[in-house]
Amino acid sequence: MTVATKDSIELPLGDDLRQSADAWLAFLRHERGYAEKTLQAYDRDLRQFFTFLKGHLGHSPCLADLARLEAKTFRAFMAARRRNGLVSRSLARTMSALRQYFRWLEAREVIKNRAVLQLALPKIPHSVPKPLNVENAAKVVERGMETEFDWVAARDVAVLLLLYGSGLRISEALGIKAKNAPTGDRDMLRIVGKGNKERLVPVLPIVGNAVARYVALCPYTLGPDDALFRGAKGGPLSPRLIQLAMERLRFALGLPTTATPHALRHSFATHLLSAGGDLRQIQELLGHASLSTTQAYTEVDRERLLAVYDAAHPRS
């Protein structure tokens, strides 16, 4: 971990504190299999906390300082972050990172300080996934089938159909190697998702055909271990380009603003549940570690059923 301020100037820390931070992040990467984006967020959280401590203590912090921290110091840090505009979800993640870090220090018998555990995590506003309805999802699929000769358009459609047809995250779709391209008779795809959690997902014929069409049109040589989906210059495809493709599709088809690439994954889960899919099986298909995460889709389906009831029941 390179501890630096937002101006990329190295933040002075005690050597013991710097080494412990590096070791903790390495532990999360290699033993817990945390995603790179999560590690980057936790890295930022630690940097911000250490920066606050330097100003609060009046000197560069070390492990001995961490051992003496009181709950009021963590409250002051949270208040400072809140004043800087941090929303509850980000603040909860920051405090979760600090809790994990201090628990790790205690487990390694480096220091023991449970003051941070005395603080309640900020309440996160309840929200439910916002999937496309079946009709709008069908529009995305039908528009995709119109692509014939434009390899970039064929590529974008193949990625979007993987999100809706197989319930993948963008990072998972863009992480597929050319040798694992779901074309031909391959109707299953092995995906390594968050936390290095491995799962098998189905590949519908319409999705396999879209990927095969992209592969046939792609002007670049796709080596077995290369990324399947390429950018215009031949490098790995950026997630931002898929987001832009969905924005164009949203405008062309008159879709709601909630129609994002990730909404296609939500649609995959919600439509399966509406058709009678088993919640446990949907959890496996999505790669959720906890069933409670998947249960959010039951609330989406409940709202849909109530809307139909209110619209159709003579006593509504």
**Active-site residue list:** 169, 194, 262, 265, 288, 297
Taking CA 59 as the corner, what is the angle to CA 58 and CA 64, rounded to the nearest 5 degrees? Answer: 115
**DSSP 8-state assignment for residue 92:** H
Helix/strand/coil for 201 = strand
- Residue labelled with tokens 């809790």: 99
Using CA atoms, how far apart are residues 100 and 95, in angstroms rounded to an integer?
A: 9
Structure tokens at 309: 């009831």
The identity of residue 66, as a single letter, is: L
Using CA atoms, how far apart are residues 314 and 258, in angstroms rounded to an integer?
A: 31
> Cα–Cα distances in Å, from 99 out to 76, 179, 284?
16, 41, 29
Using CA atoms, how far apart are residues 231 and 236, in angstroms rounded to an integer?
A: 6
20 within 8 A of 105, measured Cβ to Cβ: yes
The identity of residue 282, as a single letter, is: I
- Residue labelled with tokens 């249960």: 295
Q: For residue 153, give every residue at least 6 positions away whose Cβ sits within 8 Å of its Cβ, in sequence order, or none.
A: 147
